[in-house]
Amino acid sequence: MRAWAILLAAGTGSRMGEATNGVAKQFIMWKNAPLYWHSALTYSRAARIAGLVFVFAPENLEAETARLRTLYAAHDLGLPWKVVAGGALRQDSVRNGLAALAPHTADAAYVLIHDTARPFATPTLVNRVLDGLGAGACGVIPGIAVTDTIKVVHEGRVAATPERAGLRAVQTPQGFHAPTLAAAHERAVAEGWVVTDDAALLERCGEPVLVVEGEPGNHKMTNPEDMDMLHPHTPEPCVPRVGFGYDVHRFAGKDAASPRPMRLGGVSLPHGPMVLAHSDGDVLLHALADALLGCCAGGDIGRIFPDTDPACEGMHSAVIVEEALSRLHAQNMRLVHTDLTVITQTPKIAPHAEEIRRNVARLLRLPLPSVNLKATTEEGLGFTGAKEGIKAVAVTTAIHCNNTKAMAD
């Protein structure tokens, strides 16, 4: 057996209005398509579906037909489709959809009726309903056990408490033997029945309706807060960022104007050569600050602390590192590691290495194992080999988390 699906998209969805700027829920754009298209995709993935009938409010018919042509052109569902105008009530829309199929459409002996405000129904559920029809039922509906206790309320007071075990919350797709459903709709017109689902019409006609297991995820978009279901608050992945810094300071000659005593990583090396610098001359912290700025695309320290600025004269380089670190935090980044290398012929770094490492860890608020310090010479080559200056390089790793606010401390 095969079946057509009637996809109902004619409702006004008034309760959603405030969350959608008045757009009816079936037209909410989700993953670059209106919500109703996602139901069409689901049905196209069930092999026994023979075709689709889209039902739109008369005022939307023309525009949505044009949009469906565009959607089909981009993604052919491989199914014939029809478009019909809906009516004032849901049951009027279903009746119009049935009329579009009867009596000569191939494979239309069975129909599934689906509310397109249920975009999360799966092909598995569609197949389960079809299985029920294939087994001989003339009406099959999915239902899930209710977890809330349900009260019958009359004029604000509880009138009855039905036993929960026998209750089911009913979903779509609802599947039917099409002539049986069409006859029930004709009788509803004649008798003036108003119902909220098609199974209720079969019930009133005394026809049995089979209940199969529904899907807990098959929610019906109803209230403004249901918009969250389309945009679940999944944490964004944290992305690592690597920053690189490099700096060189010249050693001061005998007649230099304002030589600075050597500092590396905030630690004084009193027996090292004097250096020329505008700040306190800490080449390692300068490289580190640039690496921090590198992580957060913050430019370089020369832009933040220009050496033409008298305020930077003799400035403690820990202040520069602190500023770079705060800029990194301001961009929702958390520093996780740094690897530092001092390149110089003199002085020997090893006696001071642990003190420098501890001080850098303190400045960066990192655990000691997250700070590495290396030192090397350049084998007597170049300006470091000639003892004309010292250089330092720094690599820092930070984690960028969009969903995390302040990450400082």
Residues contributing to the site for Mg ion (CB under 5 A): 247, 286
Nearer Cβ to Mg ion (175/298): 298
**Nearer of residues 42 and 279 to Mg ion, judged by Cβ:** 279
Burial state string for 92-125 with b = 16 or more CB within 10 A and e = fewer than 16: bbbbbbbebbeeebeebbbbbbbbbbbbbbeeeb
CB of 274 to Mg ion, least distance (A): 15
Q: Smaller CB distance to Mg ion: residue 115 or 247?
A: 247
Shortest distance, position 381 Cβ to Mg ion, whole Å = 22
In the numeric block, the tokens 């525009």 are attached to 63
Q: What is the DSSP letter of 22?
A: T
| Least distance CB 342 / Mg ion (angstroms) | 13
Closest contact distance (angstroms) between CB of 372 and Mg ion is 21
Distance CA 39, CA 24 (A): 16
291 or 333, CB closer to Mg ion?
291
Torsion of CA 172, 59, 195, 116, to 10 degrees: 10
Phi–psi pair at 182, nearest 5 degrees: -60, -40
How far is Cα 250 from Cα 84, in angstroms, rounded to an integer?
A: 82
Q: Please, which residues bridge with residue 3 across strands?
A: 49, 110
Nearest distance, CB of residue 280 and Mg ion, angstroms = 10
In the complex, residue closest to Mg ion by CB: 286
Half-sphere exposure of 367 (CA within 13 A, CB side): 3
Decide whether 38 or 249 has the Cβ nearer to Mg ion. 249
Q: Please say whether the beta carbons of 332 and 401 come within 8 A.
A: yes
CB count in 10 Å sphere of residue 169: 16
Omega prior to 261 cis, within 30 of 0? no
CB of 406 vs Mg ion, minimal distance in Å: 29
CB nearer to Mg ion: pick between 33 and 287: 287
Report the nearest approach of Mg ion to the CB of residue 291 (Å).
13
- By beta-carbon proximity to Mg ion, the closer residue of 108 and 394 is 394
Helix runs in 102-224, H state only: 123-134, 178-191, 198-204
